[in-house]
Amino acid sequence: MNQSRNILAYFFCSSFIGTVLYTTTVFSPRTPNLFDGEAFLYWVGAHMIYGVIVGGLIIIMLRE
């Protein structure tokens, strides 16, 4: 779909994956409660930052 230069695509994909994976934290006794809003925001926020960084690096790599 030629989205390789669209940083928002990486942002939203990473956010979606982070949201889906958050539900798997119930399998570990060391993680916060599934309905802990603050933990969820940290989790998804970190995935958003990761998506922006990866998207930016891919765009830089494609320029070369």
Percent of the chain beyond pLDDT 90?
27
The answer to whether residue 64 scores a pLDDT higher than 80 is: no
Q: How far apart are CA 35 and CA 37, in angstroms?
A: 6
Mean pLDDT computed over 29-41: 87
The predicted structure's pLDDT at residue 3: 62
pTM: 0.71
pLDDT digits (tens, 9 = 90+) for 9-31: 888 888 999 888 888 888 888 88
CB-based contacts of 35, cutoff 8 Å, min separation 6: none
Provide the mean pLDDT of the chain.
Answer: 86
Q: CA separation (Å) from 22 to 28, 29, 46?
A: 11, 14, 12
Q: CA separation (Å) from 48 to 10, 21, 29?
A: 8, 13, 25
